[in-house]
Amino acid sequence: MPDSLEKNRQRLFALDVALREEADRILEQSGVGSIIRAEGFKAVGSYVMKTMTWRDLDFERTDDQPDWQQHWRLGLKLAQTGWAWRLRCLDAYREPNGTEKGLYWGIWVTIPAGGETWKIDLWTARPKEFEYGAPKRALWEKTLTEDMRYHILVIKEAVCDLPEYRNNLLSVHIYEAVLEHGVRSLNEFWEWWKKNYGI
């Protein structure tokens, strides 16, 4: 591997490590981590896959009977930490024409004295609803290699600030492209994505 590619590989791996370590500190210092652990949430997505390129965390918990009142009380607990300055609540079970199912809190967390902001997504849903929403997660985690992780990081870093990202361009598209269809570069990804998901 050329020196420039090896340096970029090490840079992206180091970025992922630094973001995950920063996430651990923010969760611990804010008290948000202890709250969501006590409520039964588990980390999923880029934190678990070690493919972090920006300050975003995803957590899920399963509940056979998701309860709106319990969900609302969770938001109050998070707000009372003094670190969450914006909270967005959603009952996706009642959302007209919604494709996702579950109860959602999106929170924006910043050190009170100032610093970077973290976006934290919390979903509560029935086990089957998570299986329907992310049917290939277990396969992706099983087949992920260090080389594949590098290709995912390259693409994620290149697209995470684009207006399309988290709109009609999703991180799951990147995982699918690399882990299932052999995409190995940003150009290949754009060709694949426009063919399969582009408008």
pLDDT > 90 in the chain, percent: 79
Q: Report pLDDT digits (tens) over 54-88.
A: 999 999 999 999 999 999 999 999 999 999 999 99
pLDDT of residue 4: 84
Q: Is the pLDDT of residue 178 over 70?
A: yes
Give the 3-state secondary structure of 28-48. HHHCHHHHHHHCCCEEECHHH
| Partners of 165 in the β-ladder | 169
Please provide the average confidence, as pLDDT, over all residues in the chain. Answer: 93
Domain boundaries, the chain: 1-133, 136-199
pLDDT of residue 19: 97
Question: How sure is the predictor about 89, in pLDDT bands with cuts at 50, 70 and 90?
Answer: very high
pLDDT > 70 in the chain, percent: 99
Q: Is the pLDDT of residue 1 over 80?
A: no
For 80, residues 6+ apart whose C-beta sits below 8 A from its C-beta are none
* DSSP letter for each residue of 165-187: BTTTB-HHHHHHHHHHH---SHH
Q: Domain 1-133, CATH 3.30.530 — does that match? A: no
Q: Report pLDDT digits (tens) over 101-157.
A: 999 999 999 988 888 999 999 999 999 998 877 888 888 989 999 999 999 999 999
Dihedrals φ, ψ of 43, to 5°?
-70, 145
Question: How sure is the predictor about 199, in pLDDT bands with cuts at 50, 70 and 90?
Answer: low
pTM above 0.85, yes or no: yes
Residue in this structure with the two tokens 């707000």, named with its chain if needed: 79
pLDDT of residue 133: 72
Residue in this structure with the two tokens 């029935």, named with its chain if needed: 126
